[in-house]
Chains A and B, each alone.
Chain A
Amino acid sequence: MSLKTLAFSLVITLAAATCALAAEPVKIGVYLPLTGQNAFGGQLELEGVQLAHKEMPKVLGRDVELVIVDNKSDKVEAANAVMRLTSKDKVVGIIGTYGSSLALAGGEVAESAKTPVIGTSCTNPLVTDGKKYYFRACFIDPYQGAGAATYAVRNLKAKKAAILKEVSNDYAVGLAAFFSRSFKKLDGVVLANLNYNADDKDFTAQLTEIISQKPDVLFIPAYFAEGAIIMKQARELGATFRIMGGDAMDNPETVTIGGKAVEGFLHTTFPYDMTMPDMNETAKKFTANWKGFRPGKDPNVNAALGYTCYMMFMKAIETAGGTDKEKITAALAGLKDFPAVTGMLSINDSHDAEMPIGVIEIKNGKRVYLGEVKPEM
């Protein structure tokens, strides 16, 4: 190679490098289930992310580019998606995913690639457990149990509680344990802590026992299918106490199955709902912008969480002052009182979001947003 050619190619390379440095966009990866069984939630979360991107397309003067990968509601695909985002697209951060098992699969890959990830709605404690680079914009399952107990004591003035839970379900056991701990800490008494097994449909024995103890409130951290049947049987047996549950009861089927028996049922959930009375500023902005972005489709909590994830990354990149992945990770770990759609959000030591919990009551067969509660743990 002649000296002239060498010098020429050097100049070209340098020019290309400078050029790229100036215009190189900040790449944010998104891995969500856009097809498959979780597609409904994944699609809404993606739209939340896209809305946030539309609102804030630049950070530190540089364009932000979204790299969207479908994880097909499949664990292997989730791991592949993160692999692709980190090694091929070289993203500075990743948003995702709906579904804890998908997040667990993707988390391992992100951890070895040292890339920060913010989970949208993966609520299992294991997702961030022991991970340096995984965060989430939602709270974890047990946090809700404490929220329900706080609401029962502070708002319902309950002093005596009973718990009925599925003994083999992580979600139920987690919520029940934290409900019980928090309820006792607030000077309440847990009269009965009864169990049932997966697939049980007859709860009459447990309920008769609970009714005889005369509690003020019954906490059932069940899924909507069992939960509605428990309430039906409880009312048939003459129960008059209040019944509370977790976000797994946040499903229209609860009312379809339970009918009149679920009147007055209270459950905790993420604090965003289109119909909520006093929204914070971020939520107002989000709801208003959504109408122009996706007219004819209602925003829900998944969309709000997707939106929040993107905004958290923008904030972290601004705090870090650049796109160094380690610095962004440190900035995310130190995020406090961030104004999210779902209220003031802080990342705690286990990388989970701490924020107020929403409480919903079933009134005349409709979900009514009652307000927020801050768990006292």
Chain B
Amino acid sequence: MSLEMFTQHLFNALALGALYGLIAIGYTMVYGILRLINFAHGDIFMVGAYLVFFTTVAFMPAWAAALLVALALLVFYAVFFGTRRPPLWFWPPLFFFCLTAFYYGFFAPRDFTPPWTVAVAFSIMVTSAIGIAVDRVAYRPLRDAPRISALISAIGVSFLLENLGVVIFTGLPRPVLQPEALVTPLVFSMSALTGNPESLVRVAPIALIVPLVSAFLVAGLLYIIHRTKPGLAMRSISTDIETTRLMGVSVNKVIALTFGLGSALAACAGIMWALRYPQVHPYMGMLPGFKAFIAAVFGGIGSIRGAMVGGLLLGFIEIMLVAFFPSLSGYRDAFAFVLLIVILLWRPSGLMGRAMEEKI
């Protein structure tokens, strides 16, 4: 295989692997804290992608957007502040969103679509609220039940979200608008290395942005977990939930925060996935969800760095399998799952997983 082809495969793998890694973090965070495999995570990812699609391509009515934002704020408020009066910072964003919704509803032209930044912020916010709501409704009541009950509940939520997606969005795959600047490929010449003037490597900017944004998000997440008080509480819960509760930590709020962060990352992954593979459909979260789960187990479930490394490695292995053995291309997914089995047999705690203590 020539050098430029290998480099091309490397860039393809980087973008795919970074996306797997980003989704895998959501699995690993929840598992680290609750020992629960959140099977609904892939569908949360789908919701994130759909929300961006609906605000930018298919124009979402302003009242629906405003309603979703209001519901999201309500969820945040109910979970994090309970019965107390909302703090001062709660009001400006609410006011801002009401104003924006009012503007879109009455003054914006009919074919107006909000800018990307607004759509992305909207999607992340609503998706993380949905993640928190799922925890509150489907997992929190089962906190003291056997672990298998929560797992079944997670599978139920997964089916619920998928089928809700089919009913609301219809089963048709829908195209996503890609900003031209993100997909016009950058062409690098590798003739200096190979001596062949025709050795070119093409990379779409989005394929570079995906790993960069992922790295940035992971750095932010690691900061929250290792340098802030809620992060300390998360690490503490992952070690011993009962003792943490005795220390006066509001365990349910910290878990809700974990779900919020995990779902926000899933939304980011969903948005970037939709930009890289410009299509949304209600079952789009299933396969990436499974793959990301493999990545999380591969890296060592419960470890955030492990999830990212696992995601990247899975991306590389999948792409390189096809690159080196083109005739085996139909076995690409099968290979990913065989990998899962082999890892579980050889190293049940994954590459970076440590013993059961000190996860996350």
Instruction: Say yes or no: is B278 at the interface (Cβ < 8 Å to chain A).
Output: yes
Instruction: Say yes or no: is A256 at the interface (Cβ < 8 Å to chain B).
Output: yes
Q: Is the CB of B278 within 8 A of A229?
A: yes
Give Cα distance in the complex from A197 to B333, angstroms: 7
Q: Is the CB of A167 within 8 A of B278?
A: no
What secondary structure prevails in chain A residues at the interface with B? helix
Q: Is the CB of A200 within 8 A of B9?
A: no
Q: Is the CB of B8 within 8 A of A225?
A: no
Binds B, one of A46-54, A201-209, A288-296: A201-209
Interface members, chain B 192-215 (any A CB < 8 Å): 200, 202, 204
Binds A, one of B22-30, B160-168, B279-287: B279-287
Q: Is the CB of A202 within 8 A of B16?
A: yes
Q: Is the CB of A205 within 8 A of B322?
A: yes
Q: Is the CB of A204 within 8 A of B332?
A: no
Q: Is the CB of B8 within 8 A of A237?
A: yes
Instruction: Say yes or no: is A15 at the interface (Cβ < 8 Å to chain B).
Output: no
Residues on B with beta carbons closer than 8 Å to the beta carbon of A253: 172-173, 175
Number of A-B contacts (CB under 8 A): 88
Give Cα distance in the complex from A237 to B5, angstroms: 11
Instruction: Say yes or no: is B185 at the interface (Cβ < 8 Å to chain A).
Output: yes
Q: Is the CB of A236 within 8 A of B322?
A: no
By beta carbon, the residue of chain A nearest B171 is A37
A197-B330, A225-B173, A236-B185 as given contacts; A208 in contact with B9, CB under 8 Å: yes
Residues on A with beta carbons closer than 8 Å to the beta carbon of B358: none
Instruction: Say yes or no: is B277 at the interface (Cβ < 8 Å to chain A).
Output: yes
By beta carbon, the residue of chain A nearest B277 is A201
Residues on A with beta carbons closer than 8 Å to the beta carbon of B318: 202, 205
Instruction: Say yes or no: is B92 at the interface (Cβ < 8 Å to chain A).
Output: no
Instruction: Say yes or no: is A126 at the interface (Cβ < 8 Å to chain B).
Output: no
Give Cα distance in the complex from A167 to B330, angstroms: 6
Interface members, chain B 215-245 (any A CB < 8 Å): none
Q: Is the CB of A208 within 8 A of B332?
A: no
Instruction: Say yes or no: is A212 at the interface (Cβ < 8 Å to chain B).
Output: yes
Query: What per-residue 1/0 map shows which CB atoms of B332-355 lie under 8 Å from chain A?
Result: 110000000000000000000000
Residues on A with beta carbons closer than 8 Å to the beta carbon of B277: 201-202, 229
Instruction: Say yes or no: is A257 at the interface (Cβ < 8 Å to chain B).
Output: yes
Query: What per-residue 1/0 map shows which CB atoms of B118-150 lie under 8 Å from chain A?
Result: 000000000000000000000000000000000
Residues on B with beta carbons closer than 8 Å to the beta carbon of A208: 5, 8-9, 12, 323
Min CB gap A239→B, angstroms = 10
Instruction: Say yes or no: is B153 at the interface (Cβ < 8 Å to chain A).
Output: no
Instruction: Say yes or no: is B329 at the interface (Cβ < 8 Å to chain A).
Output: yes
Query: Interface extent on B, as a size class?
Result: 35 or more
Min CB gap B311→A, angstroms = 13
Instruction: Say yes or no: is B183 at the interface (Cβ < 8 Å to chain A).
Output: yes
Residues on A with beta carbons closer than 8 Å to the beta carbon of B321: 205
Instruction: Say yes or no: is B319 at the interface (Cβ < 8 Å to chain A).
Output: yes
Instruction: Say yes or no: is B326 at the interface (Cβ < 8 Å to chain A).
Output: yes
Choice from B5, B200, B333 contacting A200 with Cβ under 8 Å: B333
Query: Interface extent on A, as a size class?
Result: 20 to 34
Min CB gap B182→A, angstroms = 11
Residues on A with beta carbons closer than 8 Å to the beta carbon of B175: 228, 253, 256-257
Min CB gap B43→A, angstroms = 14
Interface members, chain B 1-32 (any A CB < 8 Å): 2, 5, 8-9, 12-13, 16
Q: Is the CB of A205 within 8 A of B329?
A: yes
By beta carbon, the residue of chain A nearest B288 is A201
Q: Is the CB of B322 within 8 A of A209?
A: yes
Q: Is the CB of A232 within 8 A of B278?
A: yes
Residues on A with beta carbons closer than 8 Å to the beta carbon of B185: 236-238
Binds B, one of A22-30, A106-114, A139-147, A188-196: A188-196
Q: Is the CB of A238 within 8 A of B333?
A: no
Instruction: Say yes or no: is A278 at the interface (Cβ < 8 Å to chain B).
Output: no
Instruction: Say yes or no: is A349 at the interface (Cβ < 8 Å to chain B).
Output: no
Residues on B with beta carbons closer than 8 Å to the beta carbon of A237: 8, 185, 202
Residues on B with beta carbons closer than 8 Å to the beta carbon of A256: 175
Give Cα distance in the complex from A212 to B273, angstroms: 26
Interface members, chain B 152-188 (any A CB < 8 Å): 172-173, 175, 178, 183, 185, 187
Give Cα distance in the complex from A86 to B200, angstroms: 66
Q: Is the CB of B279 within 8 A of A194?
A: no
Q: Is the CB of B323 within 8 A of A209?
A: yes
Query: What per-residue 1/0 map shows which CB atoms of A203-230 lie under 8 Å from chain B?
Result: 0111011001000000000000100110
Residues on A with beta carbons closer than 8 Å to the beta carbon of B329: 194-196, 205-206, 209
Give Cα distance in the complex from A194 to B173, angstroms: 24
Residues of B within 8 A of A (CB): 2, 5, 8-9, 12-13, 16, 172-173, 175, 178, 183, 185, 187, 200, 202, 204, 273, 277-279, 281, 283-284, 286-287, 318-323, 326-327, 329-330, 332-333
Give 10 nearest A-B pairs by CB, closest first: A195-B330, A205-B322, A204-B12, A167-B330, A201-B277, A257-B175, A225-B173, A205-B319, A194-B329, A199-B287
